[in-house]
Amino acid sequence: MTRIYISLGSNIDRERHIRAGLDALHRLLGPLQVSRVFESEAVGFNGRPFYNLVVGADTGLALNDLCQQLRALEFAHGREPDAKKFAPRTLDLDLLLYGNLVCDAPLVLPRGEIVTNAFVLWPLAELAPTLRHPLHGETMAALWAGYDKASQRLTPIPFDWTPSGVLADTRA
């Protein structure tokens, strides 16, 4: 099993799509470690604010299979196949870390957004404060402590999620 971290984001019908994305990831991966949900401004384009969070899970899926499954989940939840990188999203799922793997294909890992976007780093640092970045060597907590927090406005919001059909809460 490999420990993975995935960021989720939505700025179209945010609450519905984040809940649907969490349910879909729970069905695909099993138990999820779920960060708080944060509201953030759109980065890279003018758009409505996003809801963002990070989940951790263990998977036996190979990297290529996991990437295909995440892409299929985005499409199943309304993402257009030809959607621009910086555009509104129903559901955006980005694999941040796949264990300690460092690679350039089928995608770049670790994901660069870990150290550049508050909406990725803050929730990841909450979930895995002692986890070391595979390239930088610093813990997520240390990276967050050194982050310029004035550069991106980020607000935790009340958001409770329990997997569909499951009574126990799996939040971290």
Beta bridge partners of 95: 6
Report residue 56 as tokens: 């951790």
Instruction: List residues with catalytic annotation.
Output: 79, 89, 92, 94
Task: Tell me how far apart the alpha carbons of residues 7 and 56 are, in angstroms, rounded to a whole number.
Answer: 9
Q: In 1-15, which positions are buried (b, 16+ CB within 10 angstroms) versus exposed (e)?
A: ebebbbbbbbbbebe
Rounded to an integer, what distance in angstroms lies between the CA atom of residue 13 and that of residue 31?
25
Which amino acid is located at 170 in the chain? Answer: T
Which among 111, 115, 141 is positioned nearest to 128, based on CA atoms? 141
Query: Residues 139, 130: contact at Cβ < 8 Å?
Result: yes
